[in-house]
Amino acid sequence: MSNRSSFLPDAGKTAEITPEEVAAWVRLPCEQRPRLIDCREQDELAICQIAGNEWFPLGTFPEAGERLTADDARGMVVYCHHGMRSLRGALFLRAHGVKNAFSMSGGIDAWSRLIDPEVPRY
């Protein structure tokens, strides 16, 4: 069995995944897809979010420990507003043993523009 979710790109080649790639699996049951981590702040979460996400603000990553890194065999995709914080989050996770952590390029703003225009932009 592969150590990498079939939904994720090769971690040796990139730290990012496109919104289109995430859209291909995001509606599957949680246990069948990579974890989707929203690393934005609470006020941003109140504006909009992608269904099925888990919320861990970027600043809480160091103390979240096992709650964040558990079940890493499924892989993880982190997203934020535009993709900058989530890239830092994905790299943090990789540095802490989560080999298949990725940032969704363009963040939830790109998700709204490219995948689901019902998601409010801010």
- Per-residue pLDDT of 96-105, as tens digits, reads 999 999 999 9
| CA–CA distance, 56 with 99 (Å, rounded to integer) | 18
The pTM of the full predicted model, rounded to 2 decimals, is: 0.94
Q: Does domain 16-114 have CATH number 3.30.1390.10?
A: no
Residue 4 predicted with pLDDT over 60: no
Q: At what angle do helices 61-69 and 84-95 cross, to 10 degrees?
A: 70
Please name the amino acid found at residue 68. Answer: L
pLDDT, tens digit (0-9, with 9 covering 90-100), for 31-76: 899 999 999 999 999 999 999 999 999 999 999 989 999 888 899 9
The candidate with the shortest Cα–Cα distance to 110, out of 61, 53, 50, is: 50
Q: In the prediction, which pLDDT does 103 show?
A: 98
Please name the amino acid found at residue 118. Answer: E
Domain extents for the chain?
Answer: 16-114
Looking at residue 120, the DSSP 8-state letter turns out to be P
